[in-house]
Amino acid sequence: MLKIILWSSIIFVFYAYFGYPLLLTALSLVRKKAVRKADFTPRISFIIAAHNEEKRIGEKIKNTLEQDYPKDLLEVIVASDASTDGTDGIVRSYQSSGVRLVRAPERRGKENAQKLAVDAASGEILVFSDAATGLERDGVRKIARNFNDPSVGCVSSVDRFIGRDGRVSGEGAYVKYEMFLRDLETGTGTLVGLSGSFFAARKELCHPWIADLQSDFNTLINSVKRGYRGVSDPDSIGYYQDLSDEKREFSRKVRTVARGIRVFMKSLPLLNPFRYGLFSLQLFTHKLCRWFVPFALLSALISSVLLAGASRYYIYLLMTQAAFYVFAVLGFWTRSEKKVLKIPFFFVLVNLSILIAWYKYLRGETFVKWEPSTR
């Protein structure tokens, strides 16, 4: 039984991280779904969610107003989640430029503020972006091109990091992996998640807007339910800096996963392959299997310890796992950029955040409110 648990756990982790992309790669040889992009300029409502963003909201509004998109077709709305600093005043100073302020009377979270903006929006396409995310001048035009394809319901951007020197920094292995998965999912059908910092959707797919559910994930779910698909656009890029406070970055990961679990649990009918086909497998693997990896890692480690006395082979297997976790600890203490330390550290960090997210979800914590990230 211990051997079954051990090898089942190892195979499960392998499938979650490597088997899934291998499966999608194989499917891409016989199942290709290209996005029929073309110049397309529908009326767009650009929605910026903000809470106490007085240090960045002005720059974000300027970045949005400078977009290379027909001015009469671009509506800019700032959704203030009851900001208590100078955010609202700064937004009002751009009223003559057509920027609208939608303010929540009380602080009830990002999605609630976005809901107010969605209800007030007049655009055919809604673009959502965070105050900390910068776009290229043609960012809106590029993301809009995807909606020329009538099968596309929502579009995710690609994430890029900005270093402290102001230059685009190299992508981390994890970000590269996620972007690679998104390309495979787009090519074979639909995405399973969107980048919350910059994404777009058809307005009809944003109703009803559930104010206590993660907006990016739930928008993708709404799209699939109504027969549309979500795609990743490699030309639509959102630029942002890493969080300067690592504790807050870890908390952000916990919050993101916990909120994602809530959306997933309310979308269990989507796991029916007879109705949703390949997407059911994608949702099960990319989300649920990934969120179960920490438990598989723990069961593999515990069973290896218990089997260590059975043969030298299991001792070697235990030593391999122990070495990986030692490298992760060294990566934490040294903050080394060497991949041999950085990758184990980040892998363990991500899975630790998932464990804590499960704990908080089971306790009923909802994470509705949010604070602007220090970057």
Same domain, 100 and 186: yes
Same domain, 59 and 208: yes
Same domain, 109 and 149: yes
Computed over every residue of the chain, the mean pLDDT equals: 91
Residue 176 is predicted with a pLDDT of 83
Same domain, 159 and 255: no
Q: Quick check: is 280 in a domain?
A: yes
* DSSP assignments along 211-243, one per residue: TTS-HHHHHHHHHHHTT-EEEEEEEEEEEEEPP
Average pLDDT score over residue span 185-196: 93
Domain that includes residue 231, residue range: 44-242
Q: Quick check: is 305 in a domain?
A: yes
pLDDT above 90 coverage of the chain, percent:
77
SS3 content of the chain, % helix, strand, coil (to 5): 55, 15, 30
Q: Quick check: is 38 in a domain?
A: no
For tokens 């804590």, name the residue: 356
pTM of the complete model = 0.89
Least confident of 3-12, 143-152, 170-179, 274-283: 170-179
Same domain, 209 and 68: yes
Same domain, 285 and 232: no
CA 80 to chain centre: 22
Same domain, 193 and 319: no
Tell me the CA distances in angstroms from 180 to 96, 196, 242, one per residue in order. 42, 17, 20
- Is pLDDT at 170 greater than 50 in this prediction? no
Our count of domains for the chain comes to 2
* Pairwise CA distance, residues 21 & 181, whole Å: 6
* Pairwise CA distance, residues 305 & 97, whole Å: 65
Q: Quick check: is 39 in a domain?
A: no
Residue 246 pLDDT class (50, 70, 90 cuts)? low
- Is pLDDT at 374 greater than 70 in this prediction? no
Strands 134-135, 229-241: pairing kind: antiparallel
- The SS3 of residue 170 is coil
Same domain, 133 and 255: no
Same domain, 226 and 345: no
Same domain, 205 and 109: yes
Residue 367 is predicted with a pLDDT of 67
Same domain, 304 and 269: yes
